[in-house]
Structure 1
Amino acid sequence: MSKLMAGTYVELEVARKVEFGYFLTDGYEDILLHIAEMKTDELTIGEKLEVYLYHDHQNRLSATMHRAALVYGEASWLRVIDINPRLGVFLDQELRRDLLLPYSELPEERSEWPRLGDHLFVELTHDKQGRMLAKMARTEFLTADFTPGTEELKNQSLVGTVYKQFPDGAFLITGEGYLLFLPHSEMASPVRLGQELKVRVTYIREDGRMNASTKPLKHDAMDMDSEKIVEYMQGRGGSMPYSDKTSPDIIMEKFQLSKAAFKRALGKLMKEKRAYQEEGWTYLKEKE
């Protein structure tokens, strides 16, 4: 009984030649090797050939002599080459047939879906008809040989790719093999699957995995918030009808800052004698 399965390399025997290629066999089932999937002009009847099995555009199990980017039982990074809102995203497996990652494997929020050109860490599975599908790869594929983080990395910047998302955050891996967890509370803005991010290491766990943040350190954030307020006042002629007594809702609406962050930024400006407050208004001081 034939046990041929898409997504695997198998050795088959060349059974016969036809106008559009060759039929290969395992003794139970014949598989077409189309001319377009050959890397040589001629094959010899009876010779053994290693090929990769996949389903062609007519959903027939077919063979190719070209190397695939993903094999069943392994995991790899594949590039997003098309997005279908009803089906999911299509990945480049370096064959004539692209690989579907179904929408059921993607985040519920469309804003968290990958974009064209992003790379996703996936493994192969099959639908009920035995056709290849992608699914998000299990973390075990990464943890087997990841690079443990060390204390020297704390507060250092790293670049990682989001390979998995969970309700409480996202997991990233860097080119060096470091594994990072980015909690939602440490995201400066929402992230998407497959997104490449610059993050800051905040904590190194005993097992070498690390926590990360995309938010700046408090003193850096205070500098940016202060300059945001200065730019706002400069655009209004040097003043604004807001102070540390203004309601949090108005501050959030005008500056996208929390009341605490707004007060810290204002306090910094006044300490540096760049601003002052009077009767509920804040003014920029003129340079002497």
Structure 2
Amino acid sequence: MNQDLGTVVTAMITDENDKAYFVQKSGVTYRLDKSETPEALEIGDTVRGFLYESMNKEKRMTTILPKSQVGHFGWGVVTNVRKDLGVFVDIGLSDKEMVVSLDELSEIKSLWPKKGDQLMISLRVDEKDRIWGELADEHVFRSLARIPKDEEEWKNKEITGIVYRLKMVGTFMLTEDYYIGFIHPTEREVEPRLGETVTGRVIGVSPHGMLNVSLKPRAHEALEEDAQMILTLLQQSPTNSLPYYDKSDPEEIRNYFGISKAQFKRAVGRLMKEKLAYQEDGFTKLRKK
């Protein structure tokens, strides 16, 4: 196995042509494009760079060092997904993307990353000299994370982060400023996928040094959604009215609107406050301008 692949080394220039230098490390020759060196080099000079094998199986050196290396973790962007192989991640190389094997991903393929999502990976080289992306584990994220202190400072604060771990107990995310957030299954409508960027609000700070996060809308935001739904139904009705009002049967309201009677009353109340609707003769009606 070539232990230099996926690492940063210093190697000696042994040859050159019009477009590239050729450097040697541990008896193996690598191509280094001259466009990457700010000044002319000569045979016998040494140069520092990252060693890898391109998609065309050409051994290359680059002086543009990726953050993801063997033993070093960095964020990469998902560029493609293959259900039979895994996901391809761009770590900054012009002619090579790293594959995170399906063996490291969830058995539920709907939770796999999509194009544009981000993963924190390091690199590993197998016995056939193939370079793979390797997901950062919990220890890595814990070592990066900051500890939130004042709970009151965080309460109801909106935060954005990247999902890095999926477990039965919930979803873990790393915020933009390196705090770990935990999303309990009861605090989400849909389970986020690995690598997805999500925005939620802090509902507490756990004793384990994590932010407890909810992806559900606040009560007033949910009310707005209900009110908008009822307004849309009123606008689409041929009579601009619906045969439901504050005293309608709760089950009838739930069967028709999919919400509780209390939600219905709050939503209609909001529409009436905004002078968008009114109730009359057992109907909720659209107030025309």
Q: What TM-score comes out, normalization by structure 1 length?
A: 0.79
- SS of 1:245 mapped into structure 2: helix
Shift in CA distance, 118/3, structure 1 to aligned 2, threshold 3 Å: closer
Q: How does 1:20-39 map to 2 (within 5 A)?
A: 21-26=20-25, 28-35=26-33, 38-39=36-37
Map of 1:232 onto structure 2 = 233
Gaps of 5+ in 2: none
Task: Count how many residue pairs are aligned between Structure 1 and Structure 2.
Answer: 275
Shift in CA distance, 262/25, structure 1 to aligned 2, threshold 3 Å: same
CA distance in 1, matches of 2:2, 2:192: 42
Map of 1:72 onto structure 2 = 70
Shift in CA distance, 105/277, structure 1 to aligned 2, threshold 3 Å: farther
Instruction: Spell out, residue by residue over 1:82-126, the C-alpha distance to the aligned partner (whole angstroms, 9 max, x if none).
Output: 333332222222212111122333333333232322222222222
- SS of 2:252 mapped into structure 1: coil
Q: Quick check: 1:170 aligned with 2:175?
A: no
Instruction: Spell out, residue by residue over 1:31-50, the C-alpha distance to the aligned partner (whole angstroms, 9 max, x if none).
Output: 22243675257533333222
Do 1:164 and 1:172's aligned partners in 2 also have CA atoms closer than 8 Å? Answer: yes
- SS of 2:233 mapped into structure 1: helix
Map of 1:47 onto structure 2 = 45
Shift in CA distance, 178/37, structure 1 to aligned 2, threshold 3 Å: same
CA distance in 2, matches of 1:174, 1:190: 17
Do 2:253 and 2:264's aligned partners in 1 also have CA atoms closer than 8 Å? Answer: no
Do 1:233 and 1:283's aligned partners in 2 also have CA atoms closer than 8 Å? Answer: no
1:19 CA displacement: 7.5
Instruction: Spell out, residue by residue over 1:207-264, the C-alpha distance to the aligned partner (whole angstroms, 9 max, x if none).
Output: 431111111234542453244235334533312477402396xx3xx54x4xxx4222
Amino acid at match of 1:245: E
Q: How does 1:149-228 map to 2 (within 5 A)?
A: 149=148, 150-151=150-151, 152-228=153-229
CA distance in 1, matches of 2:38, 2:252: 76
Gaps of 5+ in 1: none
Do 2:159 and 2:200's aligned partners in 1 also have CA atoms closer than 8 Å? Answer: yes
CA distance in 2, matches of 1:73, 1:133: 12
Amino acid at match of 1:125: R
Q: Quick check: 1:246 aligned with 2:271?
A: no
Amino acid at match of 1:187: R
1:3 CA displacement: 6.1
Map of 1:283 onto structure 2 = 283
